[in-house]
Chain A
Amino acid sequence: MTEQTIPNKIDVHDFSFFYGDFQALKRLNLPIKEKQITALIGPSGCGKSTFLRAINRMNDTIPGIRAEGQILLDGEDIYAPDVDVVELRERIGMVFQKPNPFPKSIFENVAFGPRVLKMTNRRDELHQMVRESLEGAALWDEVKHRLKDSAMNLNPGQQQRLCIARTIAVQPEVILMDEPASALDPVATLHVEDLMRTLAENYTIVIVTHNMQQAARASDWTGFFWLGELVEFNKTSALFSSPERELTESYITGRRG
């Protein structure tokens, strides 16, 4: 498939976002390509995390927020009044910056999604789902003998992969990752990056990162945010080798940010 024929999983049209009077995002326009990894980079407070959390409407829990414009998932506006937010989040999963496993067993953490979404009521099917999810998150071999242990006893890298397993257990279409490796050591970080590459065979991935190398290494597309605006969006290789805007260049070379 050539670049032009990869379908857009998500289309963002003139999307603006407000916290009260503060405009956090200014008329964004970008495509999120299906089964590709899109990285969002930019300095702290530039709006990239706000944008990420706007895609599965996690910002809805904050009082006083307002959205304008459109985010289309498979052509349908996720901010349309008739959208069921719970259903939307089944389709768009999220992995957070700080690993946040529930204070339950490893098994129960992964089984949580299938249970609440009533994906099965058969014990053996549930086991199969948990196993496949843990395998998909490259964690199965490390935990298969201690599924009943508390997830709190895992190390941070394992916890983050557990959170990824928990997310893919409900088979979402899109996975949002908010600086998923920022709390991890370099080895665990590479683990997660390898995992993202594998996951991209089946899922559309959007990742927010502070780490330029990570964006350059692990993503297919990159968007550069600055003060709530999308300054530049392009293939990752193009954006990093020949940025079109001077601001982008000075940021990715570390002269600004």
Chain B
Amino acid sequence: MSATKLETSTPDVSPPVRWGEKIIEGLIWAAGLSTILIVALIFIFLLKEGLPTFLDIPLRQLFGKRWYPIEGMFGLASLLAGTLLVTAGAVIITVPLGIVTAIYLGEFAPPWQREILKPLIEVLAGIPSIVLGFLGWVALAPIIQNAGAPTGLTAFTGALILAYMALPTIISISEDALYAVPKEYRDGALAIGATQWQTIWRVVLPAAKSGIVIAVMLGIGRAIGETMVALMVTGNAANIPAFGADIMFQPVRTMTATIAAEMGEVAQGSLHYSVLFGIGILLFLITFAINSLARKLVGGESVRRKRTGF
């Protein structure tokens, strides 16, 4: 019996090792580490393949306007402009729409409406991007062309479709953030004589700020990184749109679409090949910068703890 064994053991022996605990601890540690490791590996791989871009091409040429890979001209300005226009357009559409929808769902909608709307929004999240791209191609593009644009495949077409792709993420994470705001805050504001809207605007939204910022950042990440829709509906024209009122209604080409479209045809190890990876490095850095900005906006972990009292 184990009890008798314990009695016979000398008192200065160290306590028994709990192997179950050790193993679980190790697994959790390994899982956590693997995430960091994979991010590091991705970056190293990108650097290895893409570094010649920044070493072999003069920076002035690299950020120039002309993207003619066959002639050895690798100007990324037009691709950066394309990504910026499409992403910014999508964000401007999706962020207000997403937050307002989350507020409606979380604060105003009667339960029966919520029960219908929430699963529908989840369905929207599950639609493959190529289906949405197809929808943009056959349904949205003709409308935009009929409205007077030179072609239906424009930055705006892409932005609108991407906005709807990012919407479910923003809605559901914002709504979670609103839901997590303690009822006591709402009661406190209502009991003073604040209206429901004043309560939401001045108490609930500020208290949910960090979660909403995260929602917005994930939404932006989705819009920047999306490839298929960008490839299908933005027109694929690698030129900088003329600045003007119709800037959104000209065809563009995004960074992701460029990689996807050209990777299949490029000679492995050529300069063109490494430039495509160089574009990947830039995308990686942009998302990294956005995440860092989000952290700054939310305020570090310690600030957040202080603010919410936990």
Contact = CB atoms under 8 A, between A and B. Distances in A.
Interface of A: 56, 58, 61, 63, 86-87, 89-90, 93-94, 96, 98, 100-104, 112-113, 115-117, 150, 152-153, 163, 166-167, 170
B185 interface: yes
B36 interface: no
Contacts of B286: none
Given A152-B306, A152-B308, A102 B191 contact: no
Given A103-B307, A152-B308, A153-B306, A167 B192 contact: yes
A158 to B, nearest CB: 13
Interface stretch (B152-160, B199-207, B215-223): B199-207
A34 to B, nearest CB: 20
Contacts of B195: 86, 116
B145 interface: no
Tell me whether chain B's interface is mostly helix, strand or loop, or mixed.
helix
Contacts of A101: 188
A94 B185 contact: no
Contact of A100 (B184, B198, B306): B184
Nearest to B110: A63
A104 to B, nearest CB: 7
B26 interface: no
A179 B194 CA distance: 23
A115 B192 CA distance: 11
Nearest to A113: B192
A104 B184 CA distance: 14
B187 interface: yes
Chain A CB within 10 Å, residue with most, of B191, B195, B202, B309: B191
Nearest to B181: A103
A223 to B, nearest CB: 21
15 contacts: A89-B192, A90-B192, A90-B193, A93-B192, A96-B184, A100-B187, A102-B188, A102-B207, A112-B194, A113-B194, A116-B189, A116-B195, A116-B202, A166-B192, A170-B192
Contacts of B198: 116
A104 B192 CA distance: 16
B206 A103 contact: yes
A103 B190 CA distance: 16
A93 B306 CA distance: 28
A63 B190 CA distance: 16
A112 B192 contact: yes
B193 A113 contact: yes
- Top 9 closest pairs, chain A to chain B, by CB: A90-B193, A100-B184, A152-B309, A94-B191, A89-B193, A113-B192, A116-B194, A100-B188, A116-B198
Contacts of A87: 193
A85 to B, nearest CB: 9
A103 B210 CA distance: 13
Interface in B263-310: 306-309
A102 B190 contact: no
A161 to B, nearest CB: 14
Given A100-B182, A116-B202, A153-B306, A93 B191 contact: yes
A73 to B, nearest CB: 14
A139 B175 CA distance: 36
Contacts of B111: 63
Contact of A56 (B189, B191, B207): B191
Contacts of B189: 102, 112, 116
Given A100-B187, A103-B309, 6 more contacts: A61-B190, A90-B192, A112-B194, A115-B202, A150-B306, A163-B188
